[in-house]
Structure 1
C-alpha cells in the first residue's frame, strides 16, 4: 500500500513531530535566561551602588537589553535582522530620551536613570502582554 505524504505548510520547521530540536534551538532559551540574569545583576549593582568591576558592563547591558527586548517583543512581524537592528536602535533612543529628560529637569542620577529604564521597559512589556491577551480572548456578539 502506498502512503500519500502531505506537503507541510511554509510556517513548518521541517521537522517531524518526534524529532529532537537542534542544538541551536535548545540553546536559545538558555541564552535568554542568561541575558535576563546578567541584566538583573546589572540593575541590582547599579541600584544598590555596590563597587564591583562588573557593575559597568552589566549595567550597560541592562540599559540596552531592557528596552531592546521590550521593543523586539512588539516587532514580532519583522524579519530577524530587521528586528534586531530596530530594537537596538530603539533601546539607544529610549536611553537618550531618558537621559535628556533627566538632564533637562536637573534630576540626573545613575539610580534614577536605571530605575526609569526599568519602568519604561516593564511598561512596554506589559502593553505587549495586554495586546496579546486581547487578541486571544473570543469576542461575543449579542443579537
Structure 2
C-alpha cells in the first residue's frame, strides 16, 4: 500500500514538473505559474542527483539532492547574468537538459552494474 502511494506521489510530482516546464517555455499565464516553475527548478536537478546516489542513506541522498539543486540553479543564474544572457526560458530549458543528461547517466550506470551483478551470480 505504501509503495503504491509513493508511486502515485512520484507521478503527481513528475506531472507537476512537466507542467511547470511547459508553463515556463510556452509563457502560459496561470495563477499556479510561480509554484509549478519553482517546483520544476527545485525537483528536477535534485531528483537527478538522488538517482545517481543509489545505495546511500535516504536522508543523506535527499540532502545532497536539495543542495545540488540549489547550487545548479544559482550557478546557472550567475552564468546567465555574467554573460548578459538572462532568459527564464533558456534557464528552464538548460535545467531540463541537464536533468535529462543526469537521468541518462543514471540509466547507463545502473544498466552496467546490473549486468556485472548478473555475471557475478552466474559464476
Shift of 1:136: 2.9
Shift of 1:24: 1.9
Q: Which residue of 2 aligns with 1:3?
A: none
What is the distance in 1 between the residues matched to 2:13 and 2:55? 23
Which protein has the bigger helix share?
2
Q: Which residue of 1 aligns with 2:58?
A: 80
Aligned length: 117
Q: Which residue of 2 aligns with 1:94?
A: 72
- Which secondary structure state, in structure 2, belongs to the residue aligned with residue 133 of structure 1? helix
What is the distance in 2 between the residues matched to 1:75 and 1:86? 9
Shift of 1:131: 1.2
**Runs of 5+ consecutive residues of structure 1 not aligned to the other structure:** 1-22
Shift of 1:77: 2.2
Query: Quick check: 74-83 or 56-65, which moved more?
Result: 74-83
TM-score normalised by L of structure 1:
0.78
CA RMSD after TM alignment: 1.2
**Runs of 5+ consecutive residues of structure 2 not aligned to the other structure:** none
Q: Are residues 1:40 and 2:18 paired? A: yes
